[in-house]
Structure 1
Amino acid sequence: MDKPLNSPLLIEPIGRPTKLSPAATFSHLQNFLVALPPSPSRTQLERLADALGVETGAIAPSEGERREAERIAARNAARAERRAKREAERIAAEAEEAAKLEQQLEEDDEEEEEDGEAFEGDETMGDIEYGDVPDDEDEPDNREGKDAEDDE
């Protein structure tokens, strides 16, 4: 366990290793970024390429700041678009729900009209007004009132 294991891959150098300069790294990154789809990793690599470009003098510092401002504006525009889309979907869902409720109410009204033809005066049936309830002797309030009258 103390001895390191041999690698299953045999890697042999074919030449002397060379160190990439910042200018070469910048050009490689620029060529590589063309093939990448838009993603957070691409944005990070663009920022790295901009920093290397400013460092090597390939791009002006104001150009790097302008590119960053464009990325922020694009991100904010995408957020606003997503918010507007969600809001439109929410409004459409609410309108659909309201339409379903209205349709259900209309169906209920039609059913009441069909059922109501058999009974005349159905509109007032079930309406209870103050004083319509007959006196119930089992209710404590009613007993108190009658007991009070009997006592007099």
Structure 2
Amino acid sequence: MERQLTAPLRIEPLGPPTKISTKQTYTHLAQFVDHLAPSPARTQLERLADALGVEVGAIAASEGEAREKKREAERAAARAERRRTREAVRVAEAEAEAKADKDALEAAIEGEEAPEDEGEEMGENFGDGPTMDDRGDVEYGDVPEDDEDEPDNETQPMDED
């Protein structure tokens, strides 16, 4: 267990390494980034490519800044779209809940049982037993008078010998 495991992949050089220039690195990186799907990694690689492009003179510094502003605007637009979608879903859920409450109230007024209450009486919603809501309000003094299981509260005289 203490010995080092062998690597599953061995990279063996075919020849001496060649050093590529910064301009070649920028060219390869810019071409590679174009084929990536939109993701945080792509954004980071785009920033790296822009920095390399400015360094080698392939792009102007103002163009690099403009690209960064464009990325920020796209990110803000995507955030706003997600917010709108979440808000629309929240409003739709609230409307559905209000409609369900209205239907339940109308059913209760007509003397019918509300459809969502059927499962609660059968014990299907949260286990087989009654829920906390099924118990009524208990007030002080609501104790049954004729409880045969409980001993009497009155004291009985003890037989003295």
| TM-score between both structures, scaled by the size of structure 1 | 0.66
Aligned to 2:66: 66
Aligned to 2:144: none
Q: How many residues matched?
A: 108
Instruction: Give the letter aligned to residue 42 of structure 2.
Output: R
SS at match of 1:18: coil
Distance 2:74 2:52 in 1: 22
Distance 1:45 1:6 in 2: 32
Distance 2:11 2:77 in 1: 51
1:3-152 aligned within 5 A: 9=10, 11=12, 13-111=13-111
SS at match of 1:36: coil
Q: Greater helix share, 1 or 2?
A: 1
Aligned to 2:148: none
Instruction: Give the letter aligned to residue 103 of structure 1.
Output: D
1:75 deviation in Å? 0.4
- Relative contact order, CA 8 A, sep 6+: which one is greater? 1
1:34 deviation in Å? 1.6
Q: Structure 2 vs 1, CA of residues 7 and 99 (structure 1 numbering), >3 Å: closer, same or farther?
A: closer
For residues 98-135 of structure 1, give each alpha carbon's deviation from its aligned partner in whole angstroms, at most 9, with x where no partner exists.
000000000001008xxxxxxxxxxxxxxxxxxxxxxx
Q: Structure 2 vs 1, CA of residues 107 and 62 (structure 1 numbering), >3 Å: closer, same or farther?
A: same
For residues 82-107 of structure 1, give each alpha carbon's deviation from its aligned partner in whole angstroms, at most 9, with x where no partner exists.
00100010000000000000000000
Q: Structure 2 vs 1, CA of residues 17 and 108 (structure 1 numbering), >3 Å: closer, same or farther?
A: same
Distance 2:35 2:56 in 1: 23
Instruction: Give the letter aligned to residue 77 of structure 2.
Output: A
SS at match of 1:81: helix
| TM-score between both structures, scaled by the size of structure 2 | 0.62
Q: Structure 2 vs 1, CA of residues 10 and 111 (structure 1 numbering), >3 Å: closer, same or farther?
A: closer
Q: Which has the larger radius of gyration?
A: 1
> Unmatched 5+ residue regions in structure 2?
113-161
List structure 1 segments (4+ residues) > 3 angstroms apart after TM superposition.
4-10
RMSD between aligned residues: 2.2
